Amino acid sequence: MVKIGDINLGEFPLLLAPMEDVSDPPFRFVCKQQGADLMYTEFISSEGLIRDAVKSRQKLDIFDYERPIGIQIFGGDEEAMAMAAKIVDATQPDLLDINFGCPVQKVVCKGAGAGVLKDIDLMVRLTKAVVNSTSLPVTVKTRLGWDDSTKNIEEVAERLQDVGIKALTIHGRTRVQLYKGEADWRLIAKVKENPRIQIPIFGNGDIDSPEKARAYKDTYGVDGIMIGRASIGYPWIFREIKHYLNTGELLQGPTLAERIEACSVHFEKSVAWKGEKLGVLEMRRHYANYFRGLPNFKETRMQLVSANDGNEVRSLLAGISDAYDAAMVL
């Protein structure tokens, strides 16, 4: 069994990656329905939490049906990270995660996210400040290093474990790579094989099929897998991987009815959490993914992304099945 502190995650947990502007409560709901074992909030600025910024505070919203759930923070200042940890602690998630992996320039230029990969001593100090400021299990998500000449993840893993983290997720790319090229899991495996490492090691990067999940599990020996981009518009990736790991058989993909149902649930949760105007607007990025590969869908997709009214979206979603049947007849 894989455990983070006292949290039991089962034999080989599947984690939903924290993704900015994606992994909000509505999205997490549909992923939880399809088998995600542990999920994280979008990353939250430690400075934003301290300033009581509305957007940062809203990202603290978690619900009991999501548990176990982790809140992820980022920042480059020890005092700010310690204060943010105390704020997170009060919201009572199951764990607190530190983001040392985000490669986005606006985060990196502030010395946060993957920007901290340039200064391992600072990474250790920031982590220690968080661990000392919360009663929650603290975990970290990071990358192999800043660039090809600084792949220092083996040292990082040992030092972060030594200051008290309870699990480590490693994305198999450097910051310089961003999301380009193929993720290299060989160093993730070396961390896992290190006899000094006693905490769970989760791998992240490029897992987009049950077959690849099984191959990477067997080849690299990680304790679990974190899935990000492959889950966007396709929360069924979690159930498909679990079924394949348990039986060796591939599940059929979701039916059209299941796609419509998941998208509709996501939409309703979005409207309920964000309000109709913002909920309608922010769902637009998801329609193409939910209905990817569906023939003759372009016209309906254009209508969905143009709709400004919740009832119009509901009507369009409800009509997809009939429109698809008619198109197939033609």
Q: How far apart are CA 79 and CA 147, in angstroms?
A: 28
Geometric angle at alpha carbon 251, from 283 and 234, rounded to 5°: 15
Is the four-CA dihedral 116, 169, 139, 33 of positive or negative sign? positive
Q: How far apart are CA 139 and CA 130, in angstroms?
A: 10
Question: In this structure, are residues 153 and 144 in contact, taking their beta carbons and an 8 Å threshold?
Answer: yes
Question: In this structure, are residues 266 and 314 in contact, taking their beta carbons and an 8 Å threshold?
Answer: no
Q: How far from 259 is each of 95, 112, 304, CA to CA, in Å?
A: 31, 37, 15
End-to-end CA distance of the chain: 53
Is 263 one of the annotated active-site residues of the chain?
no
Q: How far apart are CA 15 and CA 167, in angstroms?
A: 12
**3 state SS for 197-243:** CCCCEEEECCCCCHHHHHHHHHHHCCCEEEECHHHCCCCCHHHHHHH
Say which of 31, 102, 109, 263 is annotated catalytic: 102
Amino acid identity of residue 264, one-letter, is S
Q: How far apart are CA 317 and CA 153, in angstroms?
A: 46
Q: How far apart are CA 72 and CA 84, in angstroms?
A: 10
* Residues carrying an active site annotation: 102
